[in-house]
Amino acid sequence: MNELKLKYGCNPNQDPSRIYMRDGSSLPLEVLNGRPGYINFLDALNSWQLVKELKEATGLPAAASFKHVSPAGAAVGLPRTEVLKKIYYVDDLKLSPLASAYARARGADRMSSYGDFVALSDICDEQTAGMLAREVSDGVIAPGYTEEALSILKTKRKGTYNVIKIDEGYKPPTLESKEVFGITFEQGRNEAAITAELLKVRPTANKEIPEEARRDLLIALITLKYTQSNSVCYVKDGQAIGIGAGQQSRVHCTRLAGNKADNWYLRQHPCVLSLPFKESISRPDRDNTIDVYISEDDMDVLADGVWEQFFTEKPAPLTKAEKKEWLSTLKGVALGSDAFFPFGDNIERARRSGVEYIAQAGGSIRDDNVIEVCDKYNIAMAFTGLRLFHH
């Protein structure tokens, strides 16, 4: 089959819609369940490339959580701490390395991941499917599924959950094209390999980037390769913790992603872990309420009895001073940028979220200023010489 008709395009008024192979060959994918739409396939095919490259770069199973053609999270299958198990709502589950990768990818920004499309680097196992079954998600793409996993996924969303199997060995043509306003654009595919070789040029006074930080910088750069530009990505312990996508100003990317990284860390604060939620409150409602709780300096936003909908008792506020003190303990974060930092203000913002290692293209006329600010905070930075714009 070289063509698949879709329900509609990006919006219901955009009809007809299809995906097809221009050369007449068979599609390198198979829909095992559901009816994926136009945006679903954009998310699926971009996210599959991301996890495939993460697996190749790290040797670990990888997962991504995609929304609107950019990742909300990406991670490799490393163990989780007891705290992370709790904030990711998997403390009651025994997870395989692949399932752990998705728990970490989903946990980076759970609000943005609501209704995501999932990509898995390896064959989906029963544990991963079991976790997917209880999250709000549109679909999944993987190189295969065990019988048990497929059986579980086929029951999700009243049997309509989108399940796509991708040919792991498929290699697209070296030239790619798309149309905008009836005009065809063509370019060579971005097949730049993201390896540790990109991290060898280190212009800062501190040139020490330990092995785990190098891994995290590679995860950041691969994630950025499939994130709508401008974009930056904060990574810690094998998972993205803040992704800023599609901003016109790079410092706004850095702020947006930094705020997400801060929220990820604030979710681990003892006050948040001990919030007295009613047992009946769903995970999405807990996520939304936690976001309000850590974003405010008092509980006025939950006044007039609103808090009673969620908690068995009104919790004490998490003050600005308490949040600042907690965030000061966030360390060892790696930051990647899909192009050069034009000003040192990006570094000033990044270090507030625990950034100690940076990988960026370099080549700005203000590189000296950026290096100076890195040296001010003893940050080790690599110039990759590689721009990673994605549109």
CA distance 7 to 13: 10
Give yes or no for a contact between 128 and 120, defined as CB atoms under 8 angstroms apart: yes
3-state DSSP assignment of residue 39:
helix
> What is the dihedral sign for C-alpha 24, 29, 35, 36?
negative
Catalytic annotation, pick one of 94, 158, 171, 391? 391
Q: CA-CA distance, 219 to 57, in Å (whole number)?
A: 8
Catalytic-role residue among 40, 46, 55, 67: 67
3-state secondary structure of 251: helix
**346 among known catalytic residues:** no
Among the options 162, 230, 263, 346, which is catalytic?
A: 230
User: Which of 68, 86, 154, 252 is labelled catalytic?
Assistant: 68
- Candidates 215, 207, 187, 189; CA nearest to 56 is 215
Q: What is the DSSP letter of 343?
A: S
User: Could you confirm whether 67 is annotated as catalytic?
Assistant: yes
Cβ burial of 250 (10 Å; 0-12, 13-18, 19+) is buried
Instruction: Match 């086929």 to its residue by tokens.
Output: 154
User: Residue 254 and residue 220: Cα distance in Å, rounded?
Assistant: 13
391 is an active site residue:
yes
Q: Which two tokens stand for residue 295?
A: 């974003």
State how far the Cα of 100 lies from the Cα of 82, in Å rounded to an integer: 13
Element (H, E) at 115: none
Say how far residue 69 (Cα) sits from the centre of its chain: 11
Whole-number Cα distances in Å, 33 to 139, 150, 151, 161, 164: 9, 9, 10, 6, 7
* 3-state DSSP assignment of residue 172: coil
Alpha helices in 161-249 (DSSP H): 211-225
| 68 a catalytic residue | yes
Active site residues: 67-68, 230, 391
